[in-house]
Structure 1
Amino acid sequence: MVTATPKIGQFPLEVQDYFPFEPRPGQSLMANEIYYGVLANNHVAIEGAAGMGKTVTCLSSLLPICKREGCTLLYTARTHTQIQRVIEELSMIYKIKGRHELTGISVYGRANMCLNPEVQGAPPVEAMEICGELRKTRRCRWYEELKSKEIDRMSGCFTSEYVREYGLEAEVCPYYLSKELMKHCNVIALTYVYLINPFMRSILFKTLDTSLESCVLVFDECHNLPDLAMHTMSLGVSDRGLKRALKEYHRYDAAGKYPLILKFLKHFKGYLDQVQQEYGAHPEEIEIGVDLQAFIPYLATFTKQNGAKDLFVLAREIKQFGRHIRRLKLEAKQSTYSSVYHFGTFLEQFISTVKDSQYLHYMILAKDRIQYYIRCIDCRGLLRPLQRARSIISMSGTLEPIDAYLDICGFPQHTRRRVLPSPFSHKLVRVFAMRGIDLTYFSRTTPQYQILAKRCLEVIRATPGNTAVFCASYDVLESFLKKTEFRRGIKDLGRPFYSERRDFTSRQNQEMITKFKTKGHQGKKAVLVGVCGGRNSEGVDFPGPEMITVIILGIPLARMTHSVNALITYYTEQFGVYKGKEYAYTLPALRRANQAAGRPIRTLRDYGVIVLLDDRYSHAYYRRFLSHWINENMVILNDQDGVLEGEVARFYLSQQNHENNIKGGF
């Protein structure tokens, strides 16, 4: 639905009273779309490029409506860094516009806020139960101290870090202090899970003593929402996890009080061992479907032969034993994670989803492990209750086609939608798509990889700063480095070289990225190789000199595994033949490519080159899924030696001349 919007350049009068900065291109258009959309009791979905200031524009557009109607603004994002940014922007409105009636807080979970080492870093459910045990037995001195004090109503904007530091200094519980402060806040910034997970959502609204109908919801970077919602409700158990559960059982039930639990653990592991033996060792990870018509009778046989009432009762008993183990570990000041408890949770998930078509049951096999995985493949049921909210605002830099996002989330098709014009000048951003580069699966030959290496080296030679090469997958990355002289070519150019690896820990990866960024600030012209959909192509920004050129090798389409084929089949049943494969297979791949392509362009002052090395990026069908600003700045080139290098060199020469003119006063 195309919606009419008032004249570009004018903010609604009420919004002007909150907007604290000099407007950037596109902000007034966005403000009008949100403000008038919410006034008309609509949901709103907007695509706007990174760097245009979507957060502060959204806040300024919603705050006057929330104030007038007495609504609470729940602003959600994927990461803690993003929700901290919300409070920083709210603070600017508070200070610059003098809106001292505003109160806001960013919310972290117990594991991040708690001062007890037993709770810090624990999974959410585990952290909640340990916290409950410590409070119940009055062993948390910070909580006891907080109970003895009267919490005054506070005004201002508070980050979670500030609340935690205050709690540490005042010797009170930061987590429960933040829960008290939330009750008096106009704006609460939190991660998606608080609204996605039904249990956490119920606790949130009980704490706030309000209803969904009295809240305006914002989903920032909302392209992440469907996958994260489905991931939240997915769960697996492996043969290794079952071995740990058996070991845990023998340690904590030496007297044999729970023989049925021991027998069932062995029975379930026996099934995994049987499947692993049948399929043998595999050098690469594979997926196979679970024959539920055979597996359910296999489990039913156990209950009959061993006098168990049913699997649900057994699952509850396993979880109860797991809680007992966690209490004993807590008393011994050990890590309170329990493999027995995890298996009980998995068994409950199995029972509740085994006949639900929205969940997929399959096995993941590798050479030395096997995992039974339950994957949620439809997030509409999880998100449907949220439609009762006063309004929902969905925002992202990579949301097109918006109809697909609304379909997958189950949001109403009458939602107002807008793709904002690109704020990036053609003089600052150039996108080159190469015709004649074939990186489809059966064309990934050594000669084709050598051509790719040649083109990448041409681009790197012409780039006066840091360059990243993001490959379609780890298989492409490893073949690219193995079958070409690319690494040697980088060495000959004297460029520092960094490569992402599958087995990197978070710390190793962060150290590598820090070095790469530092080289950029030092003018050392480093090269980073990674994968689309990886930690560095989506979760990290590289503004300014940290990255000025990005090369995308291929389209990051998923391998046709059992789960991917099942997802295509399910989406085809739900949305039709045309949309089924598009939503399940094509769209997620192009979203990954969009995210990777946008890494160096994070502010309106950034300039850079994006090179798309795959013929398919020049096709009209695939371009439909690329961000508006990428399409607007795209130049399609025929693949010939020197053409790409010349284009990139001319672009950066024009940037250098522009900077020299500015310095010279022209």
Structure 2
Amino acid sequence: MAEAIQISVRTLVEHVYRSGSIDSRFRSSSTLHDGTRIHQMIQKTYGESEQKEVYLRAEVKAGDLSYIIDGRCDGLLFRDDGVVIDEIKSYSQTSEQIQQGGYPVHWAQAKLYAFMYAKDNDLQKITVQLTYVHVDTLEKIYFQKRYHTPELEVFLEHVMKVYSPYANLLANHRRKRNESCKELSFPFESYREGQRKLAGGVYKSIFDKKNLFAKAPTGIGKTISTLFPSVKAIGEGHLDKVFYLTAKTITRTAAEEAFKKMRSCGLCMSTVTITAKDKVCFKEETNCQKDYCEFANGYYDRINDAILDILSNETGMTREIIEIYAKKHTVCPFEFSLDLAYSADSIICDYNYVFDPRVSLKRLLEDQKKSTALLVDEAHNLVDRGREMFSSSLNKDVFLQLKKEFKGVNKSLFDAASKLNAWFLALKKENPDKHEFTLDHLDNELLDSLIQFVEITEQALSIEASPTLLEAYFIVNNFLKINEFLDEHYVIYVEKVKNDLNVKLFCIDPSKLLHQMGKGYRAKIFFSATLSPLNFYQDLLGGQEDDYVLSIPSPFSSDQVDVYIHPLSTRYGDRERTKESIAAGIQSLIKKRPGNYLIFFPSYQYLLAVYEQFKQQNEETKTTIQAAGMTEPEREAFLDAFKPNQLETLLGFAVLGGIFSEGVDLIGDRLNGVVVIGVGLPQLCFERNLIRDHFNQLNKNGYDYAYVYPGMNKVLQAGGRLIRSEEDFGTIVLIDDRFLQRQYQQLLPSEWQMFTIGSL
């Protein structure tokens, strides 16, 4: 017998009764808090014998499926004329629909609770009450209806009839999915060396409910080696959902291709790719309001049909597929992808949808985490991304601008902005000669002023929208949210930039918060070719003592690559002096070994300086350059220029750590060599020095943590573009005298250790 489908009352009625439009106009950040406050306020008025948060449950058969429907009703009241189910809702603005008798979705929720209680207690009649409370005025509006239990039973049958097509579709799909996952064989003729070990490590980690840190070499096929065992774990009932998390669009494509390959071998599994809202928006301006965007207007009236349509016809829901169906049904493609994520077996998306406290998909998986695995691709990127997610800053100019904008227009706002501007001015005067300095703590005066600013701004924005004020509101709110995380993993620092002053809550060590945000998932698999040294990444990615660790040696032979170390200084002060020698070295390389080369530089300015020097003597050599802010078509054109078996040499000038140094596959003769200029160290700066000092105080090598490991990671990623299969052969040239120092050399992969010193 098939297992019963468990669904909450709220999820069920929202699916059947949601209607209306997406509206991204201002909403107070305190909405959730207000709702809780108002629920508690009303529940305190209940009599002694009356109950709150009462758990109710019903088993229902609809068609071929069985359901367990459950939830907690807000109040169970006992009156002389019978039992009352109370459903409490808060609202912040005048609502015509409330005046007209309440929202259908709220009635539906309360009626299902009423049916459950009446059925369990053999009641013939029961009263349903909706209690609406205004968050500011606390004005209460009550609606009551009395129902016979058979009426409520008919209502439930109607709800299930509307929900059933979606539920049947999912149930049928899951049966096929589980069977196909069980039967699926590895979708290639054989495993590459190292692949089976990685796949085995992933499966064992999922089976044992453990986290895995895996260093696996470039070119062995990490994407399929992590996805295939996850798919098999679904077939064995250990998993129900997989997140494939990436930092870059190009690695998302690799995951889509891996699923496509498995589908060609019989897999029946749905995947959805979530693309950033700004990228997929159909309108010129991303403005999610019904009076501007037809895809937002009436979105909830059409979304169920759109979901049924796409799930009935597609399994690989890529950006392109989602856009086709979004246009067909006139729904927002971004919100569409989020709604599809509820139903999909696998979600391919950016790290931030899981780890960033501001944008994570909390509504998606809170109750499903135990059967979900996170596959974190190119996990070395998550260290700096984590720092970015958990940091926040405020600058003086924001409040100065608001002060000017609202002078004589809104006294409360003008005073609030003036107060904050004055705080920054006082801080500036206290530190006249310092351009960068740390603070031990944020004083209460600032925090009180920021909270007051938020309250005044919420009132102003509920009346009239101001883009400057709205942006400031989000900045301040984010700052206050991050302030709640402050502990020994943070440093507060101040930076002067011309006349402006910036205060930053800087997350030096993201490990605690990454661990916290990833809690509850069955398994987390962190993998990368450059997760080296492993203990550094375990330390900063929130690893625990009982996590599994796997380091797979490269399957590729040192005979496949010729490595040269050219000991020139590429330090900032020496760049002008050595650029001519570097250009001459590149010229010598392509003369002796013609072909397609990627040449990586530590900065764009340095790239241009050497490029110009090279072109003076080599006008005829074909070149292509990574430009700042390239569009996706421009990126594709850059890579398309690297064609196999070209008769003339092509040099691609790119930035180390940029879009072309990771996740790029130029197989065979499309790439014959890589030149890396410099050891990739981040630029010396106050922030990096804070990282260094922090880890020095913990008796770790702070300089390595702040500079050497992140820098050499970029070098290894860039060099990893070259050898992608057993048939590939090529040349790597490392230009910097520091590559001969033990500190850097020990971080080079074993197949690079047989190097030759000197230029070609």
Class of the TM-score when normalised by the shorter of the 2 chains: 0.7 to 0.9
| Residues 618 and 636 in structure 1, CA contact (< 8 A), matched pair in contact too | no
Q: Which structure shows the higher helix fraction?
A: 1
How far apart are the structure 2 equivalents of 1:22 and 1:57? 14
Matches for 1:590-601 after TM superposition, within 5 Å: 590-601=712-723
1:288 aligned onto 2:436? yes
How far apart are the structure 2 equivalents of 1:194 and 1:273? 37
Matches for 1:100-249 after TM superposition, within 5 Å: 100=268, 102-115=269-282, 118-119=285-286, 130=288, 140-146=297-303, 151=308, 154=312, 156-201=315-360, 204-208=361-365, 210-238=367-395, 241-242=398-399, 244-246=401-403, 248-249=405-406
The one-character-per-residue Cα deviations of 1:221-252 (angstroms, maximum 9, x if unpaired) are: 111111111111223344555555445545xx
| Residues 75 and 188 in structure 1, CA contact (< 8 A), matched pair in contact too | yes
* Deviation of the 1:542 alpha carbon: 4.6
Match of 2:561 in 1: 429
The one-character-per-residue Cα deviations of 1:312-349 (angstroms, maximum 9, x if unpaired) are: 42242265268458x636xxxxx799442244235425
Match of 1:621 in 2: 743
The one-character-per-residue Cα deviations of 1:419-439 (angstroms, maximum 9, x if unpaired) are: 2232334454322224x4344
**Secondary structure of the structure 2 residue equivalent to 1:198:** coil
The one-character-per-residue Cα deviations of 1:562-590 (angstroms, maximum 9, x if unpaired) are: 2122111212334x23x433222211111
1:86 aligned onto 2:255? yes
Distance of aligned partners of 1:118 and 1:420 in 2 relative to their CA distance in 1, 3 Å threshold: same
How far apart are the structure 2 equivalents of 1:292 and 1:131? 43
* Deviation of the 1:255 alpha carbon: 4.4
Letter aligned with residue 289 of structure 1: F
The one-character-per-residue Cα deviations of 1:399-453 (angstroms, maximum 9, x if unpaired) are: 122121111112123322222232334454322224x4344567x2765444433
| Residues 403 and 413 in structure 1, CA contact (< 8 A), matched pair in contact too | no
**Secondary structure of the structure 1 residue equivalent to 2:187:** coil
Match of 1:496 in 2: 622
| Residues 280 and 333 in structure 2, CA contact (< 8 A), matched pair in contact too | yes
How far apart are the structure 2 equivalents of 1:557 and 1:416? 30
**Secondary structure of the structure 2 residue equivalent to 1:552:** strand
| Residues 558 and 585 in structure 1, CA contact (< 8 A), matched pair in contact too | yes
* Deviation of the 1:382 alpha carbon: 1.6
How far apart are the structure 1 equivalents of 2:499 and 2:635? 29
Match of 1:313 in 2: 451
1:455 aligned onto 2:585? yes
Distance of aligned partners of 1:266 and 1:412 in 2 relative to their CA distance in 1, 3 Å threshold: closer
1:527 aligned onto 2:651? yes
1:378 aligned onto 2:509? yes
Letter aligned with residue 621 of structure 2: R
| Residues 555 and 614 in structure 1, CA contact (< 8 A), matched pair in contact too | yes
* Deviation of the 1:58 alpha carbon: 1.4
| Residues 319 and 340 in structure 1, CA contact (< 8 A), matched pair in contact too | no
Match of 1:362 in 2: 493
Match of 1:328 in 2: 465
**Secondary structure of the structure 2 residue equivalent to 1:262:** helix
Q: Higher relative contact order at CA 8 Å, sep ≥6: structure 1 or structure 2?
A: 1
Counterpart among 54, 67, 71 of residue 222 in structure 2: 54
1:472 aligned onto 2:602? yes
* Deviation of the 1:390 alpha carbon: 1.2
Q: How large is the RMSD of aligned CA atoms in angstroms?
A: 3.9
Matches for 1:544-559 after TM superposition, within 5 Å: 544=668, 547-559=671-683
| Residues 490 and 497 in structure 1, CA contact (< 8 A), matched pair in contact too | no
How far apart are the structure 2 equivalents of 1:218 and 1:261? 45
How far apart are the structure 2 equivalents of 1:530 and 1:453? 15
1:45 aligned onto 2:213? yes
How far apart are the structure 1 equivalents of 2:536 and 2:255? 27
| Residues 437 and 494 in structure 2, CA contact (< 8 A), matched pair in contact too | yes
**Secondary structure of the structure 1 residue equivalent to 2:754:** strand
**Secondary structure of the structure 2 residue equivalent to 1:20:** coil
Distance of aligned partners of 1:133 and 1:412 in 2 relative to their CA distance in 1, 3 Å threshold: farther
* Deviation of the 1:118 alpha carbon: 4.6
How far apart are the structure 1 equivalents of 2:479 and 2:204? 48
How far apart are the structure 1 equivalents of 2:721 and 2:532? 18
Match of 1:518 in 2: 641
* Deviation of the 1:209 alpha carbon: 5.9
Letter aligned with residue 355 of structure 2: I
1:506 aligned onto 2:630? yes
Counterpart among 474, 477, 480 of residue 345 in structure 1: 477
How far apart are the structure 2 equivalents of 1:608 and 1:156? 39
Q: Which structure shows the higher strand fraction?
A: 2
TM-score w.r.t. length of structure 1? 0.75
The count of residues paired between Structure 1 and Structure 2 equals 575
How far apart are the structure 2 equivalents of 1:226 and 1:524? 40
The one-character-per-residue Cα deviations of 1:262-320 (angstroms, maximum 9, x if unpaired) are: 313532563587699756xxxxxxx6124457xx56x83xx7xxxxx923422422652
How far apart are the structure 1 equivalents of 2:504 and 2:582? 37
Alignment gaps of 5+ in structure 2? 1-179
Distance of aligned partners of 1:337 and 1:552 in 2 relative to their CA distance in 1, 3 Å threshold: farther
* Deviation of the 1:30 alpha carbon: 1.9
| Residues 251 and 663 in structure 2, CA contact (< 8 A), matched pair in contact too | no
| Residues 46 and 418 in structure 1, CA contact (< 8 A), matched pair in contact too | yes
Bigger Cα Rg = 2
Counterpart among 368, 373, 388 of residue 520 in structure 2: 388
How far apart are the structure 1 equivalents of 2:388 and 2:323? 29
| Residues 295 and 330 in structure 2, CA contact (< 8 A), matched pair in contact too | no
How far apart are the structure 2 equivalents of 1:405 and 1:570? 16
Distance of aligned partners of 1:513 and 1:158 in 2 relative to their CA distance in 1, 3 Å threshold: closer
Moved more, 142-151 or 59-68: 142-151
| Residues 393 and 503 in structure 2, CA contact (< 8 A), matched pair in contact too | yes
* Deviation of the 1:258 alpha carbon: 2.2
| Residues 492 and 505 in structure 2, CA contact (< 8 A), matched pair in contact too | yes
Match of 1:401 in 2: 533
Match of 1:27 in 2: 195
Match of 1:69 in 2: 238
Match of 1:650 in 2: none
Q: Alignment identity in percent? A: 22
Letter aligned with residue 587 of structure 1: Y
